[in-house]
Amino acid sequence: MIKSHPSEANLFQYVAGELSAGLSLVMATHVDMCSQCQAAVADIEETLCKQEFGSTEPLEALNCEQMMAAIFASSAPKSVVRTPVESMLSLEGKRFNLPNTLARNRDRIGPWSHMVGKLWRAPMQVSSDSSVNLIYMAQGATVPEHTHKGTEATLVVNGTFNDEHDSYHDGDFILLNEKHRHSPQTQQEDCLTLASLDAPLHFTSGISRLLNPFSSLFFR
Ligand SMILES: [Zn+2]
């Protein structure tokens, strides 16, 4: 049971395309896993669709759902047989089932590297405005306490982790900004997460890396 969802404001921004590419990817993956947010996104799409076209067109002549379906259909490649995407990911002898959004973007997932302690990371090439990583925490792992210059979105893909505030399970979505400090940990269970950091320009400069060496583990 997912208990931690994006806010309604975030879902609006997501549908309207106002979020960074990294945050959008984390949100899309959450929506894959969450029927509640799938329903909310469908409602928002319809609301925005009516706002966009409702004032100049007679509403009864417009079926927003059909129009959205037509838009998506027109952008799909035609007469191409889709090859099934590989949805399993292997690490440390374990296999993880990837949600659709990650499976479709599988070719963006870079090689795994060992960070420190019981932490592994695989970068995802998404865009220059955000740094996106799959982070694997083995059992009994601790991420040193850190703050963020910007917005950090984390999604639990599989497993459980805890921080000072709560414990998070499959599908839980956590959004933190520079006001938050936290120290994620795993206990009996391991955890695969997808994490996106929006990158203010100064954050990637050499001096910031020296001041906050841990951040450079996530950023590159
Ligand atoms: Zn949700």
Distance 39 CA to ligand 1 centre (A): 9
- Please indicate, yes or no, whether residues 70 and 107 belong to a single structural domain of this protein: no
Distance 173 CA to ligand 1 centre (A): 7
> Of 75, 100, 123, which marks where a domain is finished?
75
Residue scoring higher pLDDT (78 or 22): 22
- Please indicate, yes or no, whether residues 179 and 111 belong to a single structural domain of this protein: yes
Distance 172 CA to ligand 1 centre (A): 8
Distance 96 CA to ligand 1 centre (A): 20
Q: Please give the pLDDT value at position 214.
A: 45
pLDDT at 118 over 70: yes
- Please indicate, yes or no, whether residues 113 and 179 belong to a single structural domain of this protein: yes
What is the percentage of the chain residues whose pLDDT exceeds 90? 43
- Please indicate, yes or no, whether residues 163 and 188 belong to a single structural domain of this protein: yes
- Please indicate, yes or no, whether residues 109 and 53 belong to a single structural domain of this protein: no
- Please indicate, yes or no, whether residues 70 and 116 belong to a single structural domain of this protein: no
Residue scoring higher pLDDT (203 or 9): 9
- Please indicate, yes or no, whether residues 16 and 93 belong to a single structural domain of this protein: no
Distance 119 CA to ligand 1 centre (A): 26
For 23-62, write each residue's pLDDT tens digit: 999 999 999 999 999 999 999 998 888 887 765 555 455 5
> Of 28, 54, 75, which marks where a domain is finished?
75
> Of 29, 45, 75, which marks where a domain is finished?
75
> Any idea what the CATH number is for the domain that residue 178 is in?
2.60.120.10
- Please indicate, yes or no, whether residues 71 and 99 belong to a single structural domain of this protein: no
Distance 64 CA to ligand 1 centre (A): 23
Residues at Cβ < 5 Å from ligand 1 ion: 5, 34, 36-37
For 51-102, write each residue's pLDDT tens digit: 877 655 554 555 666 766 666 665 545 455 555 567 888 887 788 899 999 9
Provide the domain limits for residue 71: 8-75
Distance 11 CA to ligand 1 centre (A): 9
Q: Please give the pLDDT value at position 199.
A: 56
Q: Is residue 41 part of a domain?
A: yes
Q: Please give the pLDDT value at position 195.
A: 93
- Please indicate, yes or no, whether residues 98 and 64 belong to a single structural domain of this protein: no
- Please indicate, yes or no, whether residues 147 and 195 belong to a single structural domain of this protein: yes
Q: Provide the mean pLDDT of the chain.
A: 80
Distance 4 CA to ligand 1 centre (A): 7
For 168-214, write each residue's pLDDT tens digit: 999 999 998 777 777 789 999 999 999 998 754 333 334 434 444 44
Distance 2 CA to ligand 1 centre (A): 7
For 130-181, write each residue's pLDDT tens digit: 889 999 999 999 877 666 667 889 999 999 999 888 999 999 999 987 777 7
Q: Please give the pLDDT value at position 204.
A: 38
Q: Is residue 81 part of a domain?
A: no
Distance 31 CA to ligand 1 centre (A): 6
Tell me how far apart the alpha carbons of residues 178 and 176 are, in angstroms, rounded to a whole number.
7
* Burial (Cβ within 10 Å: 0-12, 13-18, ≥19) of residue 124: buried
Q: How many domains does the chain have?
A: 2
- Please indicate, yes or no, whether residues 101 and 45 belong to a single structural domain of this protein: no
Q: Please give the pLDDT value at position 211.
A: 41
Q: Please give the pLDDT value at position 75.
A: 53
